[in-house]
Structure 1
Amino acid sequence: MRYLFQFLVLVTFIQNGFSQEKKALFTIDSTSYYSDEFIRVYNKNLDLVKDDSQKDLDKYLELFVGYKLKVQKAYKLGLHYNVRYQNELMSYRGQLAKNYINDSKVTNELVEEAYERINKEVKASHILILVDESASPEDTLRAYNKVVKVQQLLKEGKNFEEIADQYSEDPSVKENKGNLGYFSAFRMVYPFENAAFNTSVGDFSAPFRTKFGYHIVKVTDARKNRGEVTVAHIMIVKPSTPDAALQEKTKQTIEEIYQKIKQGENFESLANQFSEDKSTSGKGGVLQRFGSGQLASEKFEEIAFSLNDKNEVSKPFQSQFGWHIVKLIEKHPVQSIQEMRTELESKVRKDERSLLITNSLAAKLRKKYSFTKNGKLFLKIKKSVTDDFYSQTWEMPENKKELSGELVVLNKDKKLYSPSFINYIFSQQKSNIKIKPINALIDHLFEKWMDDQLIKYYDDNLENEFVEFKNIVEEYRDGLLLFDLMEKEIWERAKTDTIGLNAYFKNNSKNYMWNNRYDIDVYSSTDEKVIGKAKSYLEKNKSIDYIKSKLNKNGAINVMVKSGLFEENYDILSEYKNLQQGATSIVKKGNYYFVLKVKEVKPTQEKTIDECRGKVISDYQQYLENNWVDDLKKEFKVNVNQKVFEMVKNQILK
């Protein structure tokens, strides 16, 4: 709910470049809210609201004042001091800032490289020697020596799979012998992707390092990217217990469904009736489109991509999740770079490739911002660092007072103090930097530290650099506060206020009724004669198994049965009026004929609160919220400047 709420808040805050003169439109107690914000938000929401009444400026002002009242209440309660709120706001700001901390030239180069790779899929195996990014020099050297030994064995012609099985520390190696299958760009960490795409088929790479450790990758095949595919499927879930009878029943069910498809019955209808993938059965079994390596089942992917003709249906097959039948809906080839550019730019920013962009940005910021270094203090710091740095045993100097002071003045207004740089030097010992002599190493670290400080300064001042960034952050901040307030005042209260909830349910119990319900067996067939025979058997009180044995013969599935307790508006039940116990008449819907056996009729009755608790809580929340703004208007003093509001109206309606 939190992320949905944040998304809805964000949707209203897309910049449109509208600028206005800033005047106080209304006050809440002593806090002023200005016309420019009201106009900006109104224009952003204009195309999003479905209710035309909300476009009415008087009503919109009322909504806007209500929104600000809630935010004011959040501040009054001190919700902005909450550590979780502060962390979430800073996390969002950091994510948003990534859109501004960018270098377009480097980004374009990375996008073009990624697109070239996306058009290809490589199949690769790897050997991994684990070593942490911050491992000691001894552990790093030990891992490196091991991977070099592996490389030598491969050079001698040893079998890659056997060497992987013997030496690789990837936990999955026992199952896959190092085989990672096919993948394209963005499926692996960037250094691994580089090695895979720069190694010829049949060759193995030199050792290289990622955040996981040292790797050697062997490319075993390459092919044109198959793109993505949209399929529908019917799934019968694998039994949770290793019961042979249940396993056989599952297989029998999928085979019966497949037989009905072969007999010409509608795939979507069968998926709707029988598929146990509840997330897709209501949509005729249709899955979201996917590409190689995106599903947990490689078997499912291979079957899906093996289908060539639209509406082609696979034979039943088994995955680790159960039995499936797949139907091809559409194949989607790789799009052009123009069509994919926005998506690729987003992926590049989230990938390790972003480090290349960051380094380029730092170079530009050195030209944008000036800084001066305290040479004397810097020299003292240099002298305090010894060769112990290389063995990671250097300790920060005890005479901190002598080494304290302003080390850098950045852009004439930002002072950077020496302890920050000294701590940075200390932290970099784990990086295993080997630059010598020590003076050259400290010069190198200073430049890296300055790059970090320049980017941080730029990041900290994004609100001053970009008005739209400032607006989005401020409005998201209020949106987060409003969420926390709603959670405290409305949502949690509705769930924990048992007395209030029960009273609300008692006063509104007529809104929570069961429709007529029927305990039924639903018999379906595309053959009217078959369903007529099923009806005659039902009238003789024959069992489901008996009827199926009589009508499903010689491998043909002529009738299927679904049982359960359903309300009167369920699917085929809407075709019947005044259902009574016993066998019903035959009705046709689409290509199917149906007959029902009604075992029990449960008439309309009030639900208990436990039978509809979720709906009652939701309605009670809405009830509390509807009365909340009126209470806030009594708590805070609201004063609207009608003269300014008339000016706002004229400006918007021009």
Structure 2
Amino acid sequence: MKISRLLIFVFLIGPYFLLAQTKEVLFTIDNHSYYTDEFVRVYNKNLDLVKDDSQKDLDKYLDLFLGYKLKVEKANKIGLQYGTNYQNELKSYRNQLSKNYVNDSKVTNELINEAYDRMQQEVRASHILVLLDEGASPEDTLKAYNKILAIKKRLDAGEDFITVAKLTSEDPSVKENNGDLGYFSAFRMVYPFENAAYKTAVGQVSMPFRTRFGYHIVKVVDKRNNRGEVTVAHIMIVKNGDEAQNEKAKSTIEDIYKKIKQGESFETLAQQFSEDKSSAPKGGVLQRFGSGQLSSEEFENVAFNLKLKNEISEPFQSQFGWHIVKLIEKHPVRSLDEMKLELEEKIKKDERSLLITNSLAKKLRSKYSLSKDVKLLSKVKGAVTEEFYSQTWDAKEKSIEIKGDVLTINKDRKISVVQFMSYIAGKQKSNIKTKPISRLVDELFEKFIDDQLIAYYNDNLENEFPDFKNIMDEYRDGLLLFDLMEKEIWNRAKNDTLGLNEYFKSNVDKYQWKKRYDVDILSSTDMNVIKKAQKLLKKGKSIEYIKEQLNKDGKVNVMSKSGLHEEDYDILSEYKGLEKGVTSIVSKDKYYFVVNVSDEKPAGAKQLSECRGKVISDYQQFLENHWVDELKKEFTIQINNDVFSRIKTQLNK
């Protein structure tokens, strides 16, 4: 599923609460009726998402909802619902969503306990992978399996795991990590991989096993108590391939560390100097994380090795740059009671859910009525031959002579004998050895019944669960709307060069630079130091010279940053009427600042190249706003105002 498609579902997020009401027609679009229950549900589920009370205005919301449905009508009108990608993605989402509705409490609780027990430990493992698609042919599967067996024999013969991994593993990351996956806990790997890792002893190599990625062999390197999660803040100076720049980065982080040791605020220094733009405004604070969740083991180890709250690390280097880390809080593994609901949700989204789904079949046998055609089943037993065991049995050839329905579920789902015989043929590759043939067919028929019951149950989830139907209807509309917007608005805004230029020219007042200054900004916590810096600036001394003169005896007394900025940038907003030259000294947040203005650029219009992304976004919105007006003319709309008045009264209570 394209993640970006999720962004279109403005209506489709969050919990909702239905009002007790009679379902009535709210409006029609070309005789297609839309009802009050959907409008109320969608309105209520979005109340928590809007901050502006004006967005809760029901008249405006009705217009917004109507516009949304007009776009869906347009998508259907031009046939987007028949698109192959649309159909595949809708089917994929339904399959994914249906897992949340296939549940067995006993199996679920067993899986919760197993996951929690595993979360007490972290496993460090290396692996060797032989890639294989989930839907691979029997020939390709056998080829991959033989390859992994050959690799296992080499390991059993005493060859070094890392050497063999580098030579044979088809995991692209092996070139960088030699197959080492670092430490992980439950839910960090696909379930079959997790099982193999936790069931293999330290220092041992697993038997080959399969996941959706292919065949694996795992070597468990270590097991340790789970370190839990940690919240830290950091200051980062980015490094690059240039040696001189890297030395400068190292020097900068060391200067920052000295200022911290001098008692200056970690958070303020992070805001001023950290080059991690996402965390710097928050004083360097990162989202909490556990082992294996970051792409830098060095960073994780430093963070977890800090013991005391507010403890600060020395500068250290990762593959991304130089860091200083401050411990905010440690989060130990919570109790089972505290984690139970969270674990259940994770299980529903994990491969473990397949175990729950399969256990459901037993319950469905008592829920639904089953009718078997014993005579047809007897004919099938006569049609299946010993060729099954050599995987040469041809179901098509044998099924020509046998017609009818071998199974009926709930009197409305009839499954033909051809379907069952095709199922048998497909099981040849499973290398089943059950004999005699009659027993084999009975065994496969019971499994076939389970599969058909689950399929029937899945196909009827819309009838079993109203909320499932609502989610699927909304997702279906959302996918259509995404495809329509991409076709009619987004691609047009990106590719319509003439239209974009015309829009930019007509709205150039929206895209203006404020007055800008090319500046060097010097800061210090010591007024005397900043006064000295000011004098040196007035004498025309360089930033490097000033820092060399004022940062002595291992102390960093002054820091600097330079660039072209608008007049309200950072400390520049404290000055009125900036001019070329050295400014007066100002103070802010216990720091003193002086600015050297080397050049100024007047306020004026931006070039399209300087704000293209913003202009495209605005142009898209412009096109969409006018497009809805066009759709209102294209379709016949009738709003039932009496019904809407009653809905407003209900919702405003």
CA distance in 1, matches of 2:592, 2:526: 7
TM-score normalised over the length of structure 2: 0.90
TM-score normalised over the length of structure 1: 0.90
The letter of the residue matching 1:270 is L
8 Å contact kept, 1:23–1:644: yes
- TM-superposed CA distance for 1:550, in Å, is 1.3
Task: Give the corresponding residue for 1:296.
Answer: 295
The answer to whether 1:73 aligns with 2:74 is yes
Task: Name the stretch that deviates more: 597-606 or 3-12.
Answer: 3-12
CA distance in 1, matches of 2:372, 2:189: 41
8 Å contact kept, 1:147–1:214: no
Structure 2 matches for 1:601-620, cutoff 5 A?
Answer: 601-620=600-619
- TM-superposed CA distance for 1:366, in Å, is 1.5
CA distance in 2, matches of 1:30, 1:556: 78
The answer to whether 1:442 aligns with 2:444 is no
Question: Structure 1 612/108 Cα, relative in aligned 2: closer, same or farther at 3 Å?
Answer: same
- TM-superposed CA distance for 1:314, in Å, is 0.8
- TM-superposed CA distance for 1:345, in Å, is 1.5
Task: Give the corresponding residue for 1:284.
Answer: 283
The answer to whether 1:507 aligns with 2:506 is yes
Aligned partner of residue 3 in structure 1, secondary structure: helix
Aligned partner of residue 16 in structure 1, secondary structure: coil
Structure 2 matches for 1:343-382, cutoff 5 A?
Answer: 343-382=342-381
The answer to whether 1:10 aligns with 2:12 is yes
8 Å contact kept, 2:132–2:141: no
8 Å contact kept, 1:150–1:167: no
8 Å contact kept, 2:148–2:208: no
8 Å contact kept, 1:25–1:644: yes
Aligned partner of residue 415 in structure 2, secondary structure: strand
The letter of the residue matching 1:287 is L
Aligned partner of residue 557 in structure 1, secondary structure: coil
Structure 2 matches for 1:145-544, cutoff 5 A?
Answer: 147=152, 150=155, 162=160, 165=163, 169-170=168-169, 180-198=181-199, 204=204, 207=207, 209-211=209-211, 212-213=214-215, 215=217, 217-218=219-220, 220-223=222-225, 225-240=226-241, 243-544=242-543
Cα-Cα RMSD: 2.9
CA distance in 2, matches of 1:452, 1:479: 31
CA distance in 2, matches of 1:307, 1:263: 20
The letter of the residue matching 1:42 is Y
The letter of the residue matching 2:526 is D
- TM-superposed CA distance for 1:136, in Å, is 5.6
Aligned partner of residue 585 in structure 1, secondary structure: coil
- TM-superposed CA distance for 1:374, in Å, is 2.5
- TM-superposed CA distance for 1:226, in Å, is 1.4
Task: Give the corresponding residue for 1:579.
Answer: 578
- TM-superposed CA distance for 1:57, in Å, is 3.4
CA distance in 2, matches of 1:549, 1:321: 28
Q: 1:454-508: per-residue Cα shift (whole Å, max 9, x none)?
A: 1111111111111121122112222222232233333333333333332322222
Aligned partner of residue 563 in structure 2, secondary structure: strand
Aligned partner of residue 251 in structure 2, secondary structure: helix
CA distance in 2, matches of 1:114, 1:83: 38
Q: 1:324-361: per-residue Cα shift (whole Å, max 9, x none)?
A: 11111111112232332232112212323222112211
The letter of the residue matching 1:485 is L
Task: Name the stretch that deviates more: 324-333 or 40-49.
Answer: 40-49
8 Å contact kept, 1:189–1:210: no
Aligned partner of residue 282 in structure 1, secondary structure: helix
CA distance in 2, matches of 1:442, 1:302: 57
8 Å contact kept, 1:196–1:219: no
Task: Name the stretch that deviates more: 641-650 or 519-528.
Answer: 641-650
8 Å contact kept, 1:131–1:143: no
Task: Name the stretch that deviates more: 438-447 or 412-421.
Answer: 438-447
Task: Give the corresponding residue for 2:94.
Answer: 93
Unaligned 5+ runs, structure 1? none
Question: Structure 1 473/51 Cα, relative in aligned 2: closer, same or farther at 3 Å?
Answer: same
- TM-superposed CA distance for 1:150, in Å, is 4.6
Q: 1:55-99: per-residue Cα shift (whole Å, max 9, x none)?
A: 343333333323322222222222222222222222222222111
Question: Structure 1 21/599 Cα, relative in aligned 2: closer, same or farther at 3 Å?
Answer: same
Q: 1:572-631: per-residue Cα shift (whole Å, max 9, x none)?
A: 111111111111111111122111111101011111222222222222222233333332
Identity percentage over the alignment? Answer: 62
Structure 2 matches for 1:562-601, cutoff 5 A?
Answer: 562-601=561-600
CA distance in 1, matches of 2:318, 2:385: 60
8 Å contact kept, 1:165–1:173: no
Q: 1:157-215: per-residue Cα shift (whole Å, max 9, x none)?
A: x7xx8456458944677876765443221223334433443456x56376362334363
Question: Structure 1 257/83 Cα, relative in aligned 2: closer, same or farther at 3 Å?
Answer: same
- TM-superposed CA distance for 1:410, in Å, is 1.5
The letter of the residue matching 1:210 is R
8 Å contact kept, 1:295–1:301: yes
- TM-superposed CA distance for 1:515, in Å, is 0.3
The letter of the residue matching 1:20 is Q
Aligned partner of residue 401 in structure 2, secondary structure: coil
Task: Name the stretch that deviates more: 142-151 or 519-528.
Answer: 142-151
8 Å contact kept, 2:148–2:217: no
- TM-superposed CA distance for 1:315, in Å, is 1.0
Aligned partner of residue 518 in structure 1, secondary structure: strand
Question: Structure 1 220/472 Cα, relative in aligned 2: closer, same or farther at 3 Å?
Answer: closer
- TM-superposed CA distance for 1:289, in Å, is 0.9
Question: Structure 1 631/425 Cα, relative in aligned 2: closer, same or farther at 3 Å?
Answer: same
Question: Structure 1 130/388 Cα, relative in aligned 2: closer, same or farther at 3 Å?
Answer: farther
Q: Count residues with an aligned counterpart.
A: 642
8 Å contact kept, 1:129–1:215: no
Question: Structure 1 57/206 Cα, relative in aligned 2: closer, same or farther at 3 Å?
Answer: closer
Structure 2 matches for 1:104-115, cutoff 5 A?
Answer: 104-115=105-116
- TM-superposed CA distance for 1:399, in Å, is 4.6
CA distance in 2, matches of 1:469, 1:166: 48
Question: Structure 1 634/144 Cα, relative in aligned 2: closer, same or farther at 3 Å?
Answer: closer
8 Å contact kept, 1:131–1:140: no
Task: Name the stretch that deviates more: 125-134 or 316-325.
Answer: 125-134
8 Å contact kept, 2:144–2:215: no
8 Å contact kept, 2:405–2:414: yes
Question: Structure 1 311/167 Cα, relative in aligned 2: closer, same or farther at 3 Å?
Answer: closer
Aligned partner of residue 310 in structure 1, secondary structure: coil
Aligned partner of residue 227 in structure 2, secondary structure: coil
